[in-house]
């Protein structure tokens, strides 16, 4: 596991980004989002930023606005409100956040064709759970995955029953979801994927799902489960004859706190990528 380092941006060109609020009418229901538009367009893939169970979309939009300006990337921060989206971490028969996310990007693409391109998907905690499941269902829509501190994962193998893995246990309803997740598995395994977790994110509190099977197979902490998932991706890719691009990165001094990860470990800067202009300062 490598550790993330940070850098300091120097003054030179001053650039900025605007923040719009949108409400997208999707087949799964209305989905609100903040959309960050840079003044300079780098022509790079859009970045989708998925919040966790704190649903802090507005805070994340503020954190990522300087990154949109710095990198010249369009950034979308969906807001899964609790009344309309009580459970957004994974698609199920009752609620389809994946369909809503597709609908949001399609809606934005009607206004700006750049949003039709495959996107980088970033998610923290519950957002990371939605991110990797979305990528399994719609691999052609995902250019890159950045998964931070998920509580647990859908392993790309049959060691565990769905939704923890791809064993259907001869259950008709589970089999339907397993088939959907397996349909594009080879393409999913080829998506460049970075898995990040705070090196101090080791608490077993009420926000971490705990079952005996989950603890045995995936590990007892988010750190252990991140390592298990990284290895599972590499193994599944090898078995499928796919070249995997999977990295596992520790965020030094970070607990289960996305704001801390951004402020202390430079997470937003790392995820958003390189500068549009060397030595530019976002305002």
Q: What integer pLDDT is reported at residue 248 of this predicted model?
A: 98
Which residues constitute the domain of residue 99? 2-282
Q: What integer pLDDT is reported at residue 15 of this predicted model?
A: 61
Q: What integer pLDDT is reported at residue 17 of this predicted model?
A: 87
Q: How far apart are CA 130 and CA 218, in angstroms?
A: 18
pTM: predicted TM-score of the whole model, two decimal places:
0.92
Q: How far apart are CA 66 and CA 250, in angstroms?
A: 23
Q: How far apart are CA 41 and CA 71, in angstroms?
A: 8
Measured between alpha carbons, how far apart are the two ends of the chain, in Å? 34
Residue with tokens 């719609």, as numbered in its chain: 138
What is the number of domains present in the chain?
1
Output the domain CATH number for residue 86.
3.40.50.1820
- Rounded to 10 deg, the angle between the 57-71 and 258-265 helix axes is 30
Average pLDDT by stretches of 10, the chain with 283 residues: 42 68 97 96 96 97 96 98 93 92 98 97 98 98 99 98 96 95 98 98 93 97 98 98 97 97 97 76 45
Q: How far apart are CA 41 and CA 277, in angstroms?
A: 11
Q: What integer pLDDT is reported at residue 1 of this predicted model?
A: 59
Residue 171's CB is within 10 A of a number of other CB atoms, namely 13
Tokens representing 253? 């001094």
């Amino acid at each position: 596991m490598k550790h993330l380092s940070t850098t300091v941006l120097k003054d030179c060109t001053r650039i900025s980004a605007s923040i719009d609020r949108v409400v997208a009418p999707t087949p799964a229901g209305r989905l609100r989002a903040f959309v960050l538009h840079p003044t300079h367009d780098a022509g790079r893939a859009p970045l989708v930023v998925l919040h966790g169970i704190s649903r802090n979309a507005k805070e994340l939009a503020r954190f990522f606005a300087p990154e949109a300006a710095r990198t010249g990337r369009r950034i979308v921060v969906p807001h899964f409100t609790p009344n309309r989206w009580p459970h957004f971490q994974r698609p199920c028969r009752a609620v389809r956040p994946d369909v809503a996310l597709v609908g949001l990007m399609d809606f934005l693409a009607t206004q700006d064709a750049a949003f039709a391109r495959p996107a980088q998907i970033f998610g923290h905690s519950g957002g990371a759970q939605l991110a990797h499941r979305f990528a399994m269902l719609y691999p052609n829509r995902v250019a890159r995955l950045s998964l931070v501190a998920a509580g647990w994962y859908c392993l790309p193998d049959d060691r565990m029953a769905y939704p923890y893995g791809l064993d259907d246990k001869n259950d008709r309803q589970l089999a339907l979801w397993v088939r959907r997740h397996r349909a594009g598995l080879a393409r999913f395994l080829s998506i460049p994927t970075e898995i990040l977790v705070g090196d101090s994110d080791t608490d077993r509190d009420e926000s971490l799902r705990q079952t005996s099977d989950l603890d045995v197979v995936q590990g007892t902490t988010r750190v252990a489960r991140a390592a298990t998932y990284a290895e599972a991706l590499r193994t599944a890719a090898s078995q499928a004859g796919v070249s995997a691009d999977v990295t596992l990165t520790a965020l030094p001094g970070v607990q289960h706190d996305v704001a801390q990860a951004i402020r202390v470990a430079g997470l937003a800067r790392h995820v958003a990528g390189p500068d549009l202009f060397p030595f530019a300062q976002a305002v």
